[in-house]
Chain A
Amino acid sequence: RKEVEQDPGPFNVPEGATVAFNCTYSNSASQSFFWYRQDCRKEPKLLMSVYSSGNEDGRFTAQLNRASQYISLLIRDSKLSDSATYLCVVTPYGSGNTGKLIFGQGTTLQVKP
C-alpha cells in the first residue's frame, strides 16, 4: 500500500462547479499535511497547508480527518485556471530532522467552459 494515495482522475467539471478531492495516508502518526498544485510540465507549488481545524483560502477549503486518515480539498466556483494536478503531501512522524515529504501521485482536474 502506498503511503499517500490519491485518485488520479481526471476530474472533468464545468466552470462554476464545486469539486472535492480526497487523499488517504497510511501512517497514523503523520504530522503535517499540504496540498500542492502542479501545472503541466511545471514545478509543484504550495497551494495550502492543512490544519486539524480545517482552513479556507478564498475558494479553496482543506480539511483533515485524523481518525479516518484522510485530507480533502474542496474547490468552489471552479475556474478554467484551476485546471492542474493537485498533489497531496504528508510529513511522516519522526521526520522532523529529515524534512521528508511524501507525495501522492496527484489528482488531475480539468475545468471545461
Chain B
Amino acid sequence: NAGVTQTPKFQVLKTGQSMTLQCAQDMNHEYMSWYRQDPGMGLRLIHYSVGAGITDQGEVPNGYNVSRSTTEDFPLRLLSAAPSQTSVYFCASRARAGGNQPQHFGDGTRLSIL
C-alpha cells in the first residue's frame, strides 16, 4: 500500500550542485505534480503531467526540469541549486486531471541549499 513515494526525505546541497528528487506512484494515476511549500506561501505548483510523455509548467517552474517517461515515475531535477530553492517539496498524484478525485501526496522532501 505504498501510494506516492518520494526520495530522499532530506537533502543538503551546496549552491550550484544539481540533483534529482524522485517520485513514484503505484496507483496507475494519470496526473502527477510537484509542489513546493514555503512559510506563509502555501503550496505552489512547480510542474505537472497529465500522462506519460506530457509535462507542463506550473506557477514556479524556473530552475526545475521534469520528465514523465512512465506512468509511475515523475522525477524533479534541480539544474543548479540556489538558496532560494530551500523548501519542502511534495509530489502528488490524482487518478486524472479533472473532477473531484482526491490528490494523494508523498511524505515530502526537505531540501536545504547552502
Q: Which residues of A contact B (CB under 8 A)?
A: 4, 8, 32, 34, 41-46, 49, 87, 95-101, 103-106
Contact = CB atoms under 8 A, between A and B. Distances in A.
Instruction: Specify the main secondary structure of chain A where it touches its partner.
Output: loop
Contact of A99 (B33, B90, B105, B108): B33
Given A49-B100, A99-B98, A101-B103, A44 B42 contact: no
Interface string B50-77: 1000001010000000000000000000
B105 A44 contact: yes
Contact of A43 (B44, B45, B96, B108): B108
Nearest to A48: B102
Contact of B107 (A43, A97, A103): A43
Interface of B: 31, 33, 35, 40-45, 48, 50, 56, 58, 90, 94, 96-100, 102-103, 105-108
Contacts of A41: 108
A104 B58 CA distance: 16
A97 B90 contact: no
B36 to A, nearest CB: 11
B40 to A, nearest CB: 6
A99 B102 CA distance: 11
Contacts of B50: 97-99
9 contacts: A32-B99, A46-B103, A97-B98, A99-B31, A99-B94, A99-B96, A103-B35, A103-B44, A106-B42
A103 B43 contact: yes
B107 to A, nearest CB: 6
A103 B105 CA distance: 14
